[in-house]
Amino acid sequence: MSLDTRVLAKADRYALIVVDMSLGFTDPTRSPLAAECGDVIKANRVLLERFRAQGLPVLFTTVAYSSPGQARIFREKLPDLEVLKAGSGLESIDPRLERRDDEVLITKQWPSGFFRTDLHQQLQKAGADGAVVTGLTTSGCVRATALGCLQHEYRTVVVREACGDRDMDAHAANLKDLNTKYVDVLSLEDALNHVF
């Protein structure tokens, strides 16, 4: 499936935003929100290796709830989110990604990595004018965070193989829609060539 159409101009400095690659979304033995995502992990490892080698910023997001009132309506709509309690361990980034202590971790309660967080400030501090967005799930938090990047004027790339969803039809439809209207959806190979 080819999604690539007109690619926007390249940013001067990209940051990698790895969205919700936490055990709550990657370990189906422990969470109803998770699905098998070994290929998504592998693609993210390739990107992480390249960003780290080039000294470019890497940021992770995770979801955790510490009080009943946080994102109350979102949690009513999707009751499975209740497993993502702070301290449960499900908010921990999947160890296969080997997150480093100096890599920013944004804890959020809503789909977008930007909503009521300091993600924009962290990107500004890192000197980024572009973002590569990956993670889980394509139709939810990846989409919302990619749109947040656009709304904050970051040139944004979503990497097809580095995103995943429990619903593959939703995955494909959202990648198509994102690419048509909002950001650049590229293959892993094309994203590496574009960014580096």
Q: What is the pLDDT of residues 115-156, one digit of tens each?
A: 999 999 999 999 999 999 999 999 999 999 999 999 999 999
CA 5 to chain centre: 22
Question: Residue 60 and residue 140: Cα distance in Å, rounded?
Answer: 16
For helices 188-195 and 38-54, the axis angle rounded to 10 degrees is: 10
Domain locations along the chain: 14-195
- Partner residues linked to 108 by β-bridges: 63
Whether the link from the prior residue into 156 is cis, omega within 30° of 0, is no
What mean pLDDT do residues 102-108 have? 98
> What pLDDT score does 8 carry?
72
* pTM higher than 0.85: yes
Using left for φ > 0, alpha for ψ between -120 and 50, and beta otherwise, residue 11 falls in beta
Report, at the CATH architecture level, how domain 14-195 is classified: 3-Layer(aba) Sandwich (3.40)
Query: What ranges make up the beta strands (E) of 65-176?
Result: 104-108, 130-136, 155-164
Question: Residue 173 and residue 139: Cα distance in Å, rounded?
Answer: 8
